Amino acid sequence: MKTVAVHDRPREKLERVGVSAVGDNELLAIVLGHGAARASVLELANLVLDAAGGLHGLARATPDDLRRIPGIGRARAAQLLAAIEAGRRTLVRGRRDRAQMLCARDVAELVIPQFGTRPVEQFGVVLLDTKHRVLRVSIVSVGTLDASVVHPREVFREAIGGGAAAIVLFHNHPSGDPRPSEEDVRLTKRLLAAGQLMGIDVLDHVIISETRYYSMKETRTLDE
């Protein structure tokens, strides 16, 4: 950082012009704190962004992905992942809000910030009370890049344990395409039937990506 004017160094620049005016690499440089043996902190930040494919890519990175980058060890990988997760959690509604889920968009806005960028499929449920207010959001299965194995007993064990009157199913598609597979549709029909037996309404199955969602209810996919 000796080659950068003092007032243009990331921390000093943030203080001078505000956090929204600094670049992605400068934000990352502040998180990293200092450079590596042969790279300044800005050069290291640029290296991380190049390797991850930008901040959106960084949100999908695993500890192993980050440790492959020269200058990033276990501690720095943890720093980066913690910073990303902290930012993600600020976008998630707090439990005290008891947000009401009136449509698929409400569900998407609730779960996309936390689960839309996950690098593998995660299948979860939004547990709702009788007025469709959120009790909690739970992940019941973690799969692979393109599949997750879900059994009805896991879903309804979570629903019963959480005292849910109704649930919304959701899972992410790491591919970025939220359209359902044939297996997604078959699984949803099984869970709808199980919900009828259990007396717990399955209101919808919302599939999400980083920025998009697909509602099986709104598209009437289950009527086909």
The Cα 64–Cα 45 span in angstroms is: 17
pLDDT at 147: 64
The token pair at 53 is 């494919």
pLDDT at 148: 67
Q: Residues of the chain whose pLDDT is less than 70?
A: 1-8, 92-97, 144-148, 224
pLDDT at 3: 54
DSSP state of 23: -
Q: Judge whether 123 and 162 are in contact, CB under 8 Å.
A: no
Place of tokens 């009136």: 102
Place of tokens 């936390």: 114
pLDDT at 1: 47
Q: Where are the domains of the chain?
A: 6-90, 95-223
Instruction: Spell out the residues 6+ positions from residue 1 whose beta carbon is closer than 8 angstroms to its own.
Output: 9, 35, 40, 41, 42
pLDDT at 6: 54
Length of the chain: 224
Q: What is the pTM of this model?
A: 0.66
Question: The domain 95-223 is classified under which CATH number: 3.40.50.720, 1.10.3720.10, 3.40.50.2000, 3.40.140.10?
Answer: 3.40.140.10
Question: The domain 6-90 is classified under which CATH number: 2.60.40, 1.10.150, 1.10.1420, 1.20.1250?
Answer: 1.10.150
